[in-house]
Amino acid sequence: MVTLLSVLLGLALAAVLGVLITGVVVFARGGQANHRWSNRLMNMRVATQAVAVLILGLIFLLRHFSSTP
């Protein structure tokens, strides 16, 4: 189970990185695209970070309960 969650964590972190890079590129280009997408990309980044933190918390929780006698 922890292995599956570790893979999902890697995917979630890759998604965070992808959204972050996309947001930086859109911000750098400016103009209408920045106006249209900046808030949406910020919300997507926060959501993907929340998913990554939840998965990390589950990993810690599972490791804690599996190691106690």
pLDDT digits (tens, 9 = 90+) for 55-68: 999 999 999 988 76
Burial class (CB in 10 A: 0-12, 13-18, 19+), 38: middle
Mean pLDDT of the chain: 94
Give the DSSP H or E segment for 30. Answer: none
The pTM of the full predicted model, rounded to 2 decimals, is: 0.87
Cα–Cα dist 35/38, whole Å: 6
Residue 69's pLDDT is what?
A: 63
**How many other β-carbons are positioned within 10 Å of the β-carbon of residue 37?**
17
Residue 20 has pLDDT above 80, yes or no: yes
Q: What is the pLDDT of residue 28?
A: 93
